[in-house]
Amino acid sequence: MITTRRMWIRALAGMVFVAYPALVWFGLSRWSPRLLALAMLAVFVPMALYRLRGVPREQLRSLALLPLVTVIALLLAALLDSGGYVLLVPVVVNVALLFGFGSTLRRGSIPMIERFARLQSAELGTSEKDWCRLWTRIWCAFFIFNGGTTLVLALTSPVSWWALYTGLLAYVLIGALLGLEWLMRRRRFGVTSTKASEPCEGEP
């Protein structure tokens, strides 16, 4: 029962996350920024607390960062009645992902993509490890580009343009990057147990 409920909560959270740009566009075209932010907080906060419940303390800090900054942005939007803070949430998500991926490139640390790969294969060759490090850097570059583009659109463009990019084009780019990595890895290493690189959970 608890497992099924947690699965449903995760699925709902994923749908809300993916649909966030569309919800913002719809909400801002009909409501005030304050009302929209309060509505999102009413949905987001309980889901985040439920998902973080029971998480080991050593993992809580990293997993709570993204929900925390999202809540702060929505609170500012509600307090100041400013839609700009609502539009900045995807930018914050990209910054958090950039920090998460980039921090694993430090000497002595396991690159993020290698961590994904080791979920399927504990033993990786030197060339495969180099490949994982390269693609961790590529994802970092993507988060910089994606976050920068989202920021520019949030500051200078109509909400409809922002929603089109963050709610459609950004996902197309993510899918294209995943597909490109899979094809290139398959061509270089052949059939391998290394898992395709993918962003961690919570990306726009």
Domain shared by 63 and 155, yes or no: no
Is pTM beyond 0.85? Reply is no
Q: What pLDDT was estimated at residue 198?
A: 47
3-state secondary structure 155-174: HHCCHHHHHHHHHHHHHHHH
Give the number of domains in the chain: 2
Same domain, 115 and 186: yes
Q: Looking at the structure, do residues 166 and 185 belong to the same domain, yes or no? A: yes
What is the reported pLDDT for 175? 94
In sign, the C-alpha dihedral spanning 67, 69, 72, 74 is negative
- Whether residues 135 and 194 fall in one domain: yes
Evaluate the CA torsion angle 72, 163, 174, 138 in order and state its sign: negative
Per-residue confidence of the chain (204 residues) as pLDDT tens digits? Answer: 456 766 676 676 667 777 888 889 888 888 999 999 999 899 888 877 877 777 777 666 667 777 888 888 899 999 999 888 999 989 988 998 898 899 999 988 899 988 888 887 778 888 888 999 999 999 999 999 999 999 999 999 999 999 999 999 999 999 999 999 888 888 877 654 444 444 444 444
Residues 94 and 76 in one domain: no
Distance between CA 97 and CA 104 in Å, rounded? 11
Whether 47 and 8 map to the same domain: the answer is: yes
For residues 52 and 125, state if they share a domain: no
Report the pLDDT value the prediction gives residue 10, as an integer from 0 to 100.
66
Tell which of 83, 103, 123 closes a domain.
Answer: 83
Same structural domain, 140 and 191: yes
Residue 171 belongs to what domain range? Answer: 88-204
Give the model's pLDDT for residue 192: 47
